[in-house]
Amino acid sequence: MMKVILRDVLKSKGVQVSESHLDILEQRWQSIQYLKADIEHAVLDDYDIALTSTPGGDHVE
């Protein structure tokens, strides 16, 4: 069923996808949905991540 939905959405956007690629897209979409569900039920304090940029290099003072 997911494959039909993916095909229709992509077709409506003018994207043509082969059956083999459609199988791959379906698997990846299911994986994304699984990860999304996991994040929605997570305690966000447990996922404290920071990204910093140090101008001029990767040194830390």
Q: pLDDT value at position 58?
A: 62
The span from the CA of 58 to the CA of 14, in Å, is 43
DSSP 13: T
Ranges of residues in the chain with a pLDDT under 70 are: 44-48, 57-61
Helical packing angle, 2-12 and 19-40, nearest 10° = 110
**DSSP H helical ranges for 1-61:** 2-12, 19-40
Task: Look up the pTM and report it.
Answer: 0.56
The predicted pLDDT at position 40 comes to: 78
What would the two tokens of residue 46 be? 């447990």
What pLDDT does 42 receive?
73
pLDDT at 61: 58
DSSP state of 54: -
